[in-house]
Structure 1
């Protein structure tokens, strides 16, 4: 089978991983193999992550061939036999772990892909101060790819750093090392999951492809809410027609762009009113309102109380 085609097929398999639970790490290290060494045939009885640094690796797992090169990430299943097929030079990281709630899934159609992409939209709209228990559970679920080539240079460097930090923790055996190692590996998994979801958004077109614009919009609004944002400015920053952007934003989030922007501003205003001694006029300005009276009106409409009463209630 053509290597590129094989990789595309493997990308359709992913694991649902509950990031509210730390992985149980049994082994984490770096290995360098040279001919004539070749991976022995085995069923590992635990999940194994490989991340290739140099050289190449030829593996067969459950009838599927994997030709791994630098930057390739692969998860091997605990109940599947895998074996090396060729003796080659290869430097790679390996992580052996258990996690009871992990589930293997297949992305069978556009709808499955859209479900994964919608998770990111929900996460980017969420407010950690007001999340319900059910929302926390939902947002903690990661989509980890079976196979992925980590092509983003900055993310790849960060992922490698987390693995190296985890390996260091595993080796030094100082107090708390086991959980600290697990935390580093969990961070790595989150970064891989994020790159996986980003790659899905970049590869798709049509309805699913519109998520790229939504993510850019959410990121812009979440970070630049203090600025005097207008439809013209959004067109300049994001590219494209504002009416189109507003329409796909509403279809995805259930809110218009400016409704969402107002929610972000009021959320930050509540934080400032409850945790600082700033005057209401100062809070208003810091969250992007140029008119204090208008800010007070919007705040009361959204929270049910005036900024002053909210501040006194904290």
Structure 2
């Protein structure tokens, strides 16, 4: 399969964006242009051909057309869709037989990202996103929201409107890429499939519940699986035990509170799920290399 590799640390140049609704059957015109076009179908159908390849796009489908390849409609239909024309200097095409290697890399990047200093000037992970030429979005609503915002920014034409529209596009590309890669992992026949789903669900659970007391029994009950089994799978895929991962989340949240609020250290511990001030200070020093007080002073 061919994937587009897009560096999202470079802002694309959005040339045009918009939303069209054809209530009467319509067929796309023929053209060849020197920019990419992202189509996102809200409802109806769009029949479009690029080069020799034909696509039938329905609600939730996306298509990324390439520069200097002729595209044309080949059948009339009613359609409601959004489009973004853009140029980007850092898009390449990658031919892969399997997504397993990409999946491993992304899992490692997520592990690195979790342990990184969120206030660091450097990027903790690669800025590359992977997109298929054509993809069906499962969760369309957030994408439509961003497309509406991009259209609003573009046509109001306030200062820096093209930059703001381009940033919306980057967010759209990242969200589509995340959903696509996660979806492909779930369909994989390798060990990544079920293990990855469990791991991802545990991470989501920890990120939403870190502020309260969590026990191994809580995790067993919530996921209806043996804790030791879940912990082995989690460690195999992330390099961390479940509670080590939870502690990193809590300490990163604590650092954020210390950096941005005047809250007492004991209250910081309580807000991130650690009631005992002594244990919070000890845990903080273990992961940060200094006590909360020392950390606070180092930021002054």
- Pairwise same-fold verdict (TM > 0.5): yes
1:290 Cα offset (Å): 3.2
1:116 Cα offset (Å): 6.2
1:24 alignment partner, one of 1, 10, 13: 13
1:299 Cα offset (Å): 2.5
Partner of 1:88 in structure 2? 77
TM-score, length of structure 2 as denominator length: 0.87
Unmatched tracts of structure 1, length 5 or more: 1-11
CA distance in 1 between partners of 2:138 and 2:254 (Å)? 39
* Cα distance change on mapping 1:142 and 1:89 into 2, 3 Å: same
**Would you say how many aligned residue pairs link Structure 1 and Structure 2?**
298
1:99 Cα offset (Å): 0.5
RMSD: 2.6
Contact 1:117 1:211 (8 Å CA) reproduced: no
Q: Secondary structure at the match of 2:75?
A: coil
Partner of 2:226 in structure 1? 241
Contact 1:46 1:78 (8 Å CA) reproduced: yes
Q: Does 1:174 align with 2:184?
A: no
* Cα distance change on mapping 1:128 and 1:311 into 2, 3 Å: closer
Q: Does 1:72 align with 2:57?
A: no
1:158 Cα offset (Å): 1.8
Q: Secondary structure at the match of 2:34?
A: coil
Moved beyond 6 Å, runs of 4+ = none
TM-score, length of structure 1 as denominator length: 0.84
- Residue by residue over 1:10-61, the C-alpha shift from the partner in whole angstroms, topping out at 9 and shown as x without a partner, is xx43222222222211111123457785334433221111122333222222
* Cα distance change on mapping 1:274 and 1:55 into 2, 3 Å: closer
Q: Does 1:97 align with 2:86?
A: yes
1:82 Cα offset (Å): 2.2
1:234 Cα offset (Å): 1.0
CA distance in 2 between partners of 1:258 and 1:150 (Å)? 33
CA distance in 1 between partners of 2:112 and 2:68 (Å)? 33
Q: Does 1:146 align with 2:159?
A: no
1:266 Cα offset (Å): 2.1
Contact 1:50 1:95 (8 Å CA) reproduced: yes
Unmatched tracts of structure 2, length 5 or more: none
| Alignment map for 1:127-138 (pairs within 5 Å) | 127=116, 129=118, 131=120, 133=122, 135-136=124-125, 138=126
Q: Secondary structure at the match of 1:89?
A: strand
